[in-house]
Amino acid sequence: MKSLIILISGRGSNMQALLEANLDVDNITVISNNPSATGLAIAKRFGVQTVVIDHRTYPDRITFDTALAAEIDRCEADLIALAGFMRILTDGFVNHFQGRLINIHPSLLPAFPGLGTHARALHEGVKIHGCTVHFVTPQVDHGPIIIQAAIPVLFDDTEETLAARILQQEHLIYAQAVRWFMADKLKCSHNHVSIDDMTICEPILYSPGLQH
């Protein structure tokens, strides 16, 4: 029985994409640190169980992460997917779920870790930008890369137009990464991820070309 936990803090766009992806998962639970997260209502419309663990009711990051880890363990999650979860997780939490914790980041890692990726990409004048699904490690935005999508940066792009096109790719590759994990296809060794029995229809780099 496959169980997926999705962690959110806000609107849950990537969460919704996962819920719409018809994943081969027996049980999905959405957990938010924010009681006002709009993604909670979306999850309920999909008939998904939701849990709120409000970080503001805990004195520090360690006690919050301990409570969050206990809830995830109670759910016996095979995989935990961060989907706009706006918390820096403690090393203890990350190590506890090592190999079962993934994240999606709006850049082609290792380029532009952290926040403000689209503005930084435009400022640096890069010609290609994108998004990355990776395993989470204690070093923020530096875990083993599972899959990426790359798009060209257009001459008239703004942060908003670039973000919108990249978000479309995020929705595609996050679902693919979860499918591979749940099918036991992902193998990680020395910071490199390989996919067993990959077909030609399952690229590890999506490059959809020009789109507006």
Contact 36, 55 (CB under 8 A): no
Q: Does residue 129 have an active-site annotation? A: no
Closest CA to 145 of 112, 177, 170: 177
Closest CA to 98 of 168, 176, 191, 160: 191
The catalytic position among 105, 118, 129, 134 is 105
Q: Is 93 helix (H, G, I), strand (E, B) or coil?
A: helix
Sequence length of the chain is 212
Q: Are strands 3-8 and 27-32 parallel, antiparallel or unpaired?
A: parallel
Active site residues: 105
